[in-house]
Amino acid sequence: MRILSGIQPTGNPHWGNYFGANRQYVTLQGNKDDAFYFIANLHALTTVRDKERLSQQTFDMAVYFLAIGLDPEKSTLFVQSDVPEVTELTWLLLTCCPMGLLERCHAYKEKLAKGLTADAGLFTYPVLMAADILAYDSDLVPVGEDQQQHLEVTRDLAQTFNYHFGETFILPKAYVVPAAGKVPGTDGEKMSKSYNNTLEVIEDVKAQKKKIMRIETDCRPMEDPKDPETDNLYLLYKLFASDEQRQEMEEMYRRGGFGYGQVKKELARIAEEYFAPIRERYAKFQADPSFVRDVLAEGARRARAKAAEVLDRAQSNCGICIPK
């Protein structure tokens, strides 16, 4: 049973990334042959056009993965562009891909709706994503509830290719990541880099505390009781809190008589404590770039071996290899 997932190196991961997906990667890793995680730098080219920035963020993402607990002995960690078989497989899939299928994809439609220019990379990126998944005979792909369309496209392309050229690809299934609930940003909207409202996993503690102290709250009097489940500060706090801590905070909300500044200080404290081991490991791996490069090189070797096997199968089945 092989699990595969990837993340674009387009910025520092925030609390929403970590609790919504990244933490589950660590839980799901079993051994190096069963858990494949990659840094999707080819996908990032649709938005990042600065070579130094892309290169550094790719390295930083590898450090982040190691810092949160991905173990090279339990999972395969690699960079997408280090497996060129995937881009060749992308072309084979493109020849079986209807235009209408891509026109219906969310990311492309959203760009058009906003009046933004959508280039060919964005239009065809679901096919590259399909190649990412199919190249490793992936069985399960962790996705959020709003990302299942991407996997449906992958399954459609695999079925079409299999129909034309015979059984070639395994049809992957979605592993819907258990929801962490809404992770609100500093403005109350969903935490997202595009909204500039994030609290990052790896961030200067003092700078993060200032962000937390500026989180928007309502203007109800201190003495009024408040519903914790509708308050963004509490929703953030309970990401970190133990059952006992959550219960105490809930009781304080319901009886009232407190200020939001008190909750903000406690949120800053508990978040700092929770992420301290990750920050410590992040600093350690940043200081040892040769180790990180070795992990990525070994991961690419494993990934290429599997991708080459799948690509050879696809080439043979569709007839682009010269007969022996």
Show the 3-state SS of 112-126.
HHCCCCCCHHHHHHH
pLDDT confidence of residue 194: 80
Residues 6+ positions from 264 with CB-CB distance below 8 Å: 212, 213, 215, 233
Our answer to whether residue 190 is catalytic in this structure is: yes
pLDDT confidence of residue 146: 64
pLDDT confidence of residue 179: 61
Q: Kindly name the residue from 74, 193, 211, 265 that is annotated as catalytic.
A: 193
Is residue 198 in some structural domain?
Answer: yes
Our answer to whether residue 51 is catalytic in this structure is: no
Q: Kindly name the residue from 32, 190, 211, 265 that is annotated as catalytic.
A: 190
Our answer to whether residue 226 is catalytic in this structure is: no
Helix axes 205-213, 260-286, angle to 10 degrees: 150
**What is 128-170 written as a DSSP string?**
HHHHHHHTTT-SEEEE-GGGHHHHHHHHHHHHHHHHHH-S-S-
Domain hosting 14: range is: 3-181+289-318
User: pLDDT under 70 in the chain at which residues?
Assistant: 145-146, 179-181, 323-324
Is residue 187 in some structural domain?
Answer: no
Is residue 170 in some structural domain?
Answer: yes
- Do residues 307 and 89 touch, judged by C-beta distance below 8 A? yes
Q: Are residues 25 and 147 in the same domain?
A: yes
Q: Are residues 116 and 228 in the same domain?
A: no
Structural domain count of the chain: 2
* CA–CA gap between residue 147 and residue 125 (Å, rounded): 14
Q: What CATH number has the domain bearing residue 72?
A: 3.40.50.620
For residue 200, the 8-state DSSP code is: B
pLDDT confidence of residue 162: 98
* CA–CA gap between residue 147 and residue 106 (Å, rounded): 9
CA dihedral angle for residue 71, residue 76, residue 82, residue 87, rounded to 10 degrees: -140
Q: Kindly name the residue from 111, 182, 211, 265 that is annotated as catalytic.
A: 111
Q: Are residues 141 and 227 in the same domain?
A: no
Q: Are residues 173 and 199 in the same domain?
A: no
